[in-house]
């Protein structure tokens, strides 16, 4: 009988990309640590943006990687996790400024980077938990 793995994994990166994603995140932290003393005050926002963007790329690689056996249930769990992380993103947008107001945080806005990173982290967390609970 023909395997359904290739059909369901279409459009996703091969499973070894998980390690590439992890390596990208670790390298971005290491690079940030070593570059920090050499960065001037003017360059700080740019350095911060680049670091966060690289972390987002790493998280995206992990999130967009197929499982070893990608079948219809993994697609189902993936969609469920995406829906949950989307809802979490909306809640985060709504409640972050409220929480910031109560803890006297002057910056009540959230950036696109913050939102995307939170949603990606939440997606990876939810998908992993869901897959493990189906063992």
Partner 1 sequence: MKNTVKVERAKQNITQQELADKIGVSRQTINSVETQKYIPSTVLALKIAHAFNTTVNAIFELEDED
Under the binding rule (CB under 8 A), the answer on residue 3 touching partner 1 is yes
| Calpha distance 113→75 (Å, rounded) | 26
Under the binding rule (CB under 8 A), the answer on residue 108 touching partner 1 is no
Under the binding rule (CB under 8 A), the answer on residue 134 touching partner 1 is yes
Under the binding rule (CB under 8 A), the answer on residue 57 touching partner 1 is no
List 67, 81, 85, 126, residue binding partner 1 (CB under 8 A): 67
Interface with partner 1 by CB under 8 A: which residues? 1-5, 67-69, 71-74, 76, 131, 134-135
């Amino acid at each position: 009988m023909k395997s359904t793995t290739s059909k369901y994994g279409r459009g996703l990166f091969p499973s070894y990309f998980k390690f590439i994603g992890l390596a990208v995140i670790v390298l971005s932290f290491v690079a940030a640590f070593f570059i920090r003393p050499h960065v001037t005050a003017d360059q700080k926002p740019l350095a911060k943006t680049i670091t966060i963007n690289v972390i987002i790329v790493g998280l995206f690689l992990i999130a967009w990687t197929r499982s070893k056996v990608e079948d219809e249930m993994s697609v189902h769990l993936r969609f469920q996790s995406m829906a949950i992380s989307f809802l979490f993103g909306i809640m985060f947008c709504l409640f972050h400024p409220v929480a910031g107001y109560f803890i006297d945080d002057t910056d009540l806005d959230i950036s696109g980077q913050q939102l995307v990173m939170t949603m990606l982290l939440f997606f990876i967390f939810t998908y992993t938990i869901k897959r493990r609970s189906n063992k």
